[in-house]
Structure formats: C-alpha cells, structure tokens
Amino acid sequence: MLLFPLFSIFSLCSSNPPMVIFPPMFGSVLYGTITNLQTSHWFCPKNLKDSWIWETDQYLISPITDCLADYLKCGWNYTTNRPDSRNESYIYTIDFGGDGGIRYLDRGIFGYHLVHDMDGFLEYFEARGYKVREDVFGAPYDWRLSPIGIEQYYIDVKKLIEECYEQTGKKQTLFGYSGGCFSMHYFLTRKVTQEWKDKYIDHIILVGPSYGGAVSAWLCLWSGMSWFPGTESEPMVKFLRSIPTLYSHVPNYVIHKDMPAIIGPNGETYTHAQARQIFYDQGKVDDIENRMIYEFAEKDVLSQDLADPGVDAYLIFNSILPTNVGLNFSEGFDKMPTTIIGEGDIVLSKESLYYGCKNWKSGHSVVCRDYREQNETLNHGTILKVDEVLQDIYENMVNDSWRQLKGNFVIEGINDKKKKKPI
C-alpha cells in the first residue's frame, strides 16, 4: 500500500548508482486493519485499526503469537480466483520507497531493536554515501502472498522504478535477497516487457535466490512444525499452512526434475510433481482452500521453467554446504522422514542456485559468485552479515568490470582464492 505519492519520495540526485531493495521472505513490516475477526483466544482483539502486526514486540511472546497467526492467516478469494488475505483482515506494507518497512521488523524500545532485517546492509551502504530515498529505495511486499498474490505490488514497483529513472536519469539496479529474488524474478518475467527492462534496468543482484524452492517448505507442511522455533501452536500451524509463499517455495519441478523428491517405505521414488498427492493422501494438506492455493502455486510457478529475466545478472551464494534435497520415508509415511542430503547453502539446493547461471542464455552477462567455502556463516540465512559479501555487492554496484565476462561465468572462492571460469 502506498502511503504517499511516489513522486514525493525522491530527493536530490545522487552520484551513486541507484538501487531498489527486494527484502527476504518475512522481511517486510506488515500493518493491518482487522474487522470482527473470530480469533483463537479471548485476549486477541477482534478489531484493530492500522496496527503494526508483523513483527511488533508483543507478538513475540507465546501464546500471544496466536493472535498474530489469526490476523495473518490467508485464504482463497473467490472473486479474483487468487489467494488473498481473509475478508476480515486488510494487511499492507508501509513506507514504500523508504526504509521503514525493511530496516527493522519491530518498533524498537528506546532505539533498541529485537528483530533485525536489512539494517546491517543499509548501514554498510550508508557508510559509503548512499541515502535512503535518494539512491537506495525499499520495496517491501506482503511476503505471505508472494510471489503469486501481490498484483498491486508489481504495479507499484514498476511505478517506483519509472519515477526514480525520471528523477535521476539513471537505470536502476534491483537487489534481492532470498524470497525477494523470487518476487523480483516474477516481476521481471511476467509484468514488464523487454523494451521496458532495456530502458529502466541496469542489472540485478540476487543473493541466495529462493525461486527454486526448498525442502524446508515440505517439512513445514508435513510435520506441522513452525518456521519460527517455539511457536508450534495450532493457530500458528494453520497460519503457516495457509500462506501462498509456503506452497510457492515447494521445490520447483523443472529445476529438480532429475532428482528424486521422495523415497517411499518400499524404496520407491517419487518426482517433485508427484509429491503433492502424497501430502494430500497423508492428510497434510486437507483444508480445501489450502489445496486451492497449492494447486494455484503449482500451475503458476512450481511447474514452470525459471525464465531468463532478460537483464544482466550477478548471483551470490555458497553452494557446498550440507543441504536437505529430498525426503526419505523408509520407516513409513506414518513416521517423520529423514532428509536426503546434498549440496547447497543449507536451505537451497545447488541445482537451484546454479539454474540461472547455466540456463539464462539471452545474451546478457550472467555471473555467479559461488564462495564454495565450508563456512557456516556463509549460509543462506547469514550470508548478508559477512563483510566480504557486502564488499562484493558494493563493488558490483560501483564497478562494471564484472560485465567484461561476456556470457555465463562463475567466480569461485573468496578473497585471494578467486578463480573465474565459463559455465
């Protein structure tokens, strides 16, 4: 939701290359107006007006987390035939174009924040002369619905980029982290033309792009365990099983077509496309609207090839950490599965991370920065906290030398151990 006209967010032109930030999954502040909602507990207000919901400090404490789950639970919109918020909940982001919706997720107490988001990243660039709303812009989104249920967001992002271009006379670099890369990729491949991209986009930077999905989404569906430790209550499980981003992040069928998704009790193997029916048969997705969301995600993204975005791209990841790449039910479908271990960034498979590097062949530069380090800090969740990574991103923004690598290349290693080779 835009809280002010887009033309008002820009200040004086800057010499820095401008950048739009697409934050990670769970990485956008969500406000909401709640009207006569049937809640799980008496202490959860049934009505709220323009209230900070995700992630205000009061909702960090169980069982008040159940109120959060009630407010954010999703459903099916029978008018638009798309996933959406429930009728009683109007959920929206704040400070579009600024940093208020992406720097921290909580309000903070006396300047101290418990729930960090893009603050470290922003501070690194601010120390090098970048200024919010001058040459760095936040593009928060409703991560619950991303990427398949945020149609207005794509309209707003397009307008933001056009306004910035007109104001600065410079093409934009789009920066995405994790789930933000998924929303960005969806936008570039579904919502704008090649002519538009040629005019307005300089290049994209994708850090740990999640568009290939992850086995952790299946584990969340199967076990009922929350993505948030210590919050495995029934309302929280129902909330997580209702959000479209969970189903959109099931491992992509095309990317992982040569890998077994599930091993059954008798050693039989199932493909990624066959997995949904197993979840249905075992009662793991039994709500009719959740099934509609799963099948919509399957048709819209899971069964689709990962299209070339049609712009120069710089991808950053670490592909050699132990990563869950499948589920093994050798003890039976009535037991918790063990995981099949492969390589990746702990969350995303190596096949997913490298897919764009190997398959985007439209003539643009596609360079993949794979650190290939057995270093736990270079994992999916903490990679942006590593100084060398932030330095790489900054150098990519201000120095075009990487584009001299025409075609598809990978840069392996870190610091003085770097080596470049074509893919």
Cβ–Cβ under 8 Å, residues 295 and 244: no
To the nearest 5 percent, what fractions of the chain are helix, strand and coil?
35, 20, 45
Angle at 43 between CA 41 and CA 48, to 5 degrees: 105
Quote the distance between the C-alpha of residue 259 and its chain's center.
23
| Token pair 């496309």 in the structure block, residue | 273
Quote the distance between the C-alpha of residue 290 and its chain's center.
20
Residue closest to 329 by CA, chosen among 227, 212, 219:
219
β strands within 102-171, DSSP E: 136-138
Polymer length in residues for the chain: 423
Question: What residues does 34 pair with on adjacent strands?
Answer: 48, 89
Instruction: Return the SS3 of 136.
Output: strand
Q: Of 15-19, 290-294, 355-359, 400-404, which gets the smallest average pLDDT? A: 400-404
Written as six digits, the tokens of 42 are 């008496």
The single-letter DSSP state of residue 301 is: I
Q: Over range 242-257, report the average pLDDT.
A: 97
Distance CA 240, CA 217 (A): 10
Q: Over range 350-373, report the average pLDDT.
A: 96
Angle at 346 between CA 121 and CA 389, to 5 degrees: 30
Residue 89 confidence class, pLDDT cut points 50, 70, 90? very high
Residue 12 confidence class, pLDDT cut points 50, 70, 90? very low
Residue closest to 211 by CA, chosen among 148, 278, 153:
148
Sheet holding 30-34, edge to edge: 48-54, 30-34, 89-92
At 226 the pLDDT is 59
Q: Over range 92-110, report the average pLDDT.
A: 92
Q: Over range 216-232, report the average pLDDT.
A: 77
More confident residue, 168 or 310: 310
C-alpha distances (whole Å) from 112 to each of 53, 57, 80, 106 are: 18, 11, 41, 10
The single-letter DSSP state of residue 109 is: B
Residue 298, pLDDT above cutoff 60: yes
At 228 the pLDDT is 62
234: which residues sit within 8 A by CB, 6+ positions away? 40
Residue 110 confidence class, pLDDT cut points 50, 70, 90? confident
Cβ–Cβ under 8 Å, residues 242 and 74: yes
Give the H/E segment covering residue 317.
strand 313-317
At 58 the pLDDT is 79
Q: Over range 388-392, report the average pLDDT.
A: 96
Written as six digits, the tokens of 98 are 């600024």
Q: Over range 20-25, report the average pLDDT.
A: 98
Highest mean pLDDT pick, 48-62, 173-187, 226-240: 173-187
C-alpha distances (whole Å) from 308 to each of 267, 357, 360 are: 36, 10, 5
Residue closest to 313 by CA, chosen among 173, 195, 170, 413:
173
Q: Chain-wide mean pLDDT for the chain? A: 92
Cβ–Cβ under 8 Å, residues 286 and 73: no
Distance CA 254, CA 296 (A): 16
Distance CA 423, CA 403 (A): 15
Residue 276 confidence class, pLDDT cut points 50, 70, 90? very high
| pLDDT > 90 in the chain, percent | 82
- Reported as a single tens digit per residue, the pLDDT across 32-70 is 999 999 999 999 999 999 999 998 877 878 889 999 999
Q: What is the DSSP string of 273-308?
A: HHHHHHHHHTTSS--HHHHHHHHHHIIIIITS----
Instruction: Return the SS3 of 210.
Output: coil
Distance CA 132, CA 20 (A): 10
Distance CA 33, CA 52 (A): 9
Domains parsed from the chain with CATH numbers: 6-213+306-318+344-422 (3.40.50.1820)
